[in-house]
Chain A
Amino acid sequence: MDAILIQILNGLDKGSAYALIALGLTLIFGTLGVVNFAHGALFMIGAFCAVTLQKILTISVTTIDPERTDFLGNPLKVQTPYVENWFGPEIGATIVDWAVPLAILLAIPVMILVGFAMERGLIKHFYKRPHADQILVTFGLAIVLQEIIKYFYGANPIPTPAPSTFRGSLDIGVWLGFDPFTIIYPYWRLVYFFFAGTIIAAVFAFLQFTTFGMVVRAGMADRETVGLLGIDIDRRFTLMFGLAAAVAGLAGVMYTPILSPNYHMGMDFLVLSFVVVVVGGMGSLPGAVLAGFLLGILQSFASMNEVKSLLPGIDQIIIYLVAIVILLTRPRGLMGRRGVMED
C-alpha cells in the first residue's frame, strides 16, 4: 500500500509538468492550429530563466585575500555577490537562496516576448501550410534554441536548488498512519504540484470567466464565424501563443530544483507531452490535464521493481502502450472533440 502511495505521489509531480506543457501545446493547437514542436524548448528556456537569474544574483565583486591561495598558489580571489554588499550578508544570501521562485517574475515577460517573437517571426508564416511543414520548422527551431542555450550555458546540468526552507522532505506516511520514514516526499515536489494546480486553474478561469477567454473559446470552436462578427481573432490567438509560452516557461522555472536544467531537457519532455496531448484528445484542454496526470502516475507505477520484474522494460514503453490502447478504443483520445485533426 505504501509503495502504491509513493508512486502516486511521484506521478503527480511528473504529471504536473506533463500537464502544464500539454496545456500550452493544446492552447496553441486549439487556437492557431499549429503543431508546435518547439514547445519543449519553451519549457527549457523557462528553466534557464531561473539559471540566468541565479547567475545575475551571484554576480560578484572580486577581492584579494592575501592569506589564502588559489590552485596555482596565487593570492585567492574571493567573490562576494553584489546583492550581499548592497543589502547586507543575510538579506543578500536570502535573495540568492530564493532565486528560483523570484525567477517567475523574470520568466513571465521573457516567455511572453519569446512567444510573440516565435509566433510573429516564424510560425505565422506556416499557418496555412501542412502540419508536416509546421512540425519540421518548429522542430528545427527547437534544435536551434537548445544549441543557443548550450553555447551560453554549457552541456552539463546546472544545479538550481530550491530555497533552503523547501529543501527537506515531508514524512507523509506518519499523517496516514504508517511508520516514520515509510512515505517520504520532498517539500519542493509538493510545492510544484500545488503550483501546477494553481496555474492550470488560472488558465481555465481566464478562458471561462473573462470576455477575452470567451472570445478565444468561441474562436477555437468556430474561427470563421467569430471573424465574421468583426472580432480580430488572430490578434487574440497571438496573445494566446504568448500565454502558452508563459505557462511552459513557468513550468520550467519551477521544475529546476527537481531536475537540474540542461540544454536537452525540453526535448526529453516534448515527445511525452505530445503523447499526453494525443491521449487527452487533440484540442481538449481538460483532456490534456487529465492525460498529463494519468500518464505521469502510470509511468511511476511502471518503474516499480515488482512491475519491472514481471515486464522488463515496461517503464520505457508504458506511455506509448497506453496511447495505443486509448487510440484504438477512443480514436479521438479521452476528451477529444469531433472534427479536430480529422479533415
Chain B
Amino acid sequence: MRRQNFSRRGLLKTGAVGGAGLALPTIFTSRASAFTNEPTGSSVTLGFNVPLTGAYADEGADELRALELAVEHLNGGGDGGMLQTFSSQALDGTGILGKKVEYVTGDDQTKSDVARATAQSMIQKDGAVMITGGSSSGTAIAVQGLCQEAGVIFMAGLTHSNDTTGKDRKANGFRHFFNAYMSAQALAPVLQGLYGTDRKAYHLTADYTWGWTQEESIAAATEAMGWQTTEKVRTPLGAGDFSSYIAPVLNSGADVLVLNHYGGDMVNSLTQAVQFGLRDRQANGKDFQIVVPLYSELMARGAGQAIKGIPGSQNWDWKLEDAGTQAFVKSFGEKYGFPPSQAAHTCYVQTLLYADAVARAGDFNPCAVVEALEGYEFDGLGNGPTLYRADDHQCFKDVVVVKGAESPQDEFHLVEIVEVTPTEQVTYPHDHPMFAGGALGECNPGA
C-alpha cells in the first residue's frame, strides 16, 4: 500500500499556487463594470417578460412571437421586417454593436409581484441589459421601477395607463404604446360626429390604475364636448358576470355606456350589455350606444357578434397601409400564419428602437441609451413620424380610431379603421394635470 505524505504547510503552498494560477487570467482581464450587465462576450441578452398565463396570455404569446421575430431580424435572419423601412439605418443585421442578440423569457402572469420577480431574475441571473414586454399597466409600472433601481433599460410593452409616463415615469423607462389620454382625445371628436353633443354617459370601470386613468381621460374629453357623466361605477378586475353592474344602466337616464374594461373583462361586459338589450333600446329619445375606449383584435375575437359597430381606439392596426406596417405584417404573417396584434407590434418596435439607440450611441450604457432615445424622431415603424419626448419618455404619433366591423370578411377583419387621428390632436404638455405628480429623475446605469 502506497502512503502519501501531505504536510499542512505543503498543502497551503500548493493551494496558494494553484489558486493564483486559476485566478491569473481574470486578474489581468477583469475590470470594474461601468454599468449593470455590461456585455463583455460576443453576445448580448435581452429579457422578454410577457404574460404567458393569466388573463392576457394570448397578448403575451403574440408579444413573444414578435419579440422572437425582432431578434431574428436584428441578427440578420428572415426578410428584415421593419429594418427595411425604419428611418434610422444604424442597424445592419449583425446584432447590436456586432454582438449577437440572445434572449431570455419569463412569465409575468399579469401580476405585479411576479413581473418584478421574473424581471429581477433576468437582470441578476441572466444578465439582461434591457427588459421589454407585458400587457398590463400594473406590471409595467412595477417592472419600470425595478429597472430604474437595477440600472437597466425598460422598453414598456402594452401599457395604456397615463401613470406609466405620468406620475410613475422613470428615466430608465420608455413607452411606445399610446395612453388613455391620447385614446380619449382621438375618440371624442369621432363620438361627437357619430352621436352628437347631447349625450349622457354611464361609465363602468376596471378598478385599477389603467381603469381609473381611462375613465378620467374619456370623461373629461366627452364632457368638454358637451356630454354629461351620469355615473362612474368601479367594477372588480376579473368580475366575470357584470349583469348586476349593467342592469342599473337601464334606468339611470344614460344613453351611452362607456366600458373602461380591457381583455376578458371587456369581452364579458360588452357581451352581457348586448344581451341585456342595451343596443336595441332607446333612451332620452336616442338610440342607446356603447363605447369601448381601448380596443384590440384579440378582444374583438372574444366578443364575437357583440363588437359590431362599437367604436374604440388602438395604438396600431395591421390594416394600416404604410410601408412599415406592410413589412411587419408580411414578416409576421408568413412566419406565423396570421396578422400581428397591436401588442405584438409595440414590443417588436420597442426592441428595434432599443437596438437602434445602442447602435447610434455606440454604447450599451443605459445612460447613453437614454440620451439616444430622448427627443428622438423616427419614421417607418408603422405609426408615421414619431417622437420619443424627452420630458416623459412617451412616444407621440398618430392614433387609430376603430369600430367593430358590421360584416367581417374573415376572423382577421373584425375591426375596421374609422380614422387615423394625427399626432397634434393627441399631444399634451408634459406637465398636464392628468400626468402630474412624477419626475423622471436621473438615469441609473447601475453597477
Binding site for B on A (CB under 8 A): 2-3, 6-7, 9-11, 13-14, 68, 70-72, 76, 150, 154-159, 161, 167-169, 181-186, 188-189, 257-260, 262, 264-265, 268, 299-300, 303-305, 308, 315-316
Contact = CB atoms under 8 A, between A and B. Distances in A.
Nearest to A159: B304
Contacts of A258: 241, 243, 272, 275
Interface string B223-239: 00000000101001010
Given A154-B57, A304-B248, A186 B276 contact: yes
A169 B318 contact: no
A193 B4 CA distance: 88
A161 B57 contact: no
Given A155-B58, A259-B268, A182 B240 contact: no
A161 B267 CA distance: 13
A154 B248 contact: no
A260 to B, nearest CB: 6
Nearest to A77: B410
B264 A186 contact: no
B318 A156 contact: no
A181 B233 contact: no
Nearest to A164: B305
A68 B245 CA distance: 43
B190 interface: no
Nearest to B337: A72
Interface stretch (B212-220, B328-336, B427-435): B328-336
Contacts of A303: 244-245
Nearest to A160: B304
Tell me which of B243, B245, B334 has the highest count of chain A C-beta atoms within 10 A of its own C-beta: B243
A189 B282 CA distance: 22
**Interface size class, chain B:** 35 or more
6 contacts: A6-B247, A10-B244, A156-B263, A303-B244, A305-B248, A315-B244
B355 interface: no
B339 interface: yes
Interface string B283-313: 1000000000000001101111110000000
A304 B250 CA distance: 12
B276 A260 contact: no
Contacts of B114: none
B14 interface: no
B241 A259 contact: yes
Contacts of A268: 238, 240
A10 B264 contact: no
Contact of B250 (A6, A161, A308): A6
A256 to B, nearest CB: 11
Interface in B321-369: 329-330, 333-334, 338-339
B30 interface: no
Contacts of A156: 57-58, 263-264, 267, 298-299, 301-302
Given A154-B57, A268-B240, A305-B233, 15 more contacts: A6-B247, A154-B61, A155-B57, A156-B58, A156-B298, A157-B264, A157-B268, A158-B302, A159-B301, A181-B282, A181-B283, A186-B275, A258-B241, A258-B243, A260-B264
Main secondary structure of the interface of B (DSSP, over half): helix
Contacts of B54: 155
A70 B329 CA distance: 12
B21 interface: no
Contacts of B283: 181
B341 to A, nearest CB: 11
B271 interface: yes
A13 B243 contact: yes
Nearest to A11: B244
A150 B333 CA distance: 24
A161 B263 CA distance: 18
A66 to B, nearest CB: 15
Contacts of A169: 275-277, 280
A157 B302 contact: yes
Contact of B231 (A3, A260, A305): A305
Contact of B277 (A76, A168, A299): A168
A71 B333 contact: yes
A316 B245 CA distance: 13
Contacts of B57: 150, 154-156
A2 B330 CA distance: 55
Given A155-B57, A155-B58, A265-B240, A182 B304 contact: no
Contacts of B7: none
Given A7-B244, A71-B318, A72-B333, A155 B53 contact: yes
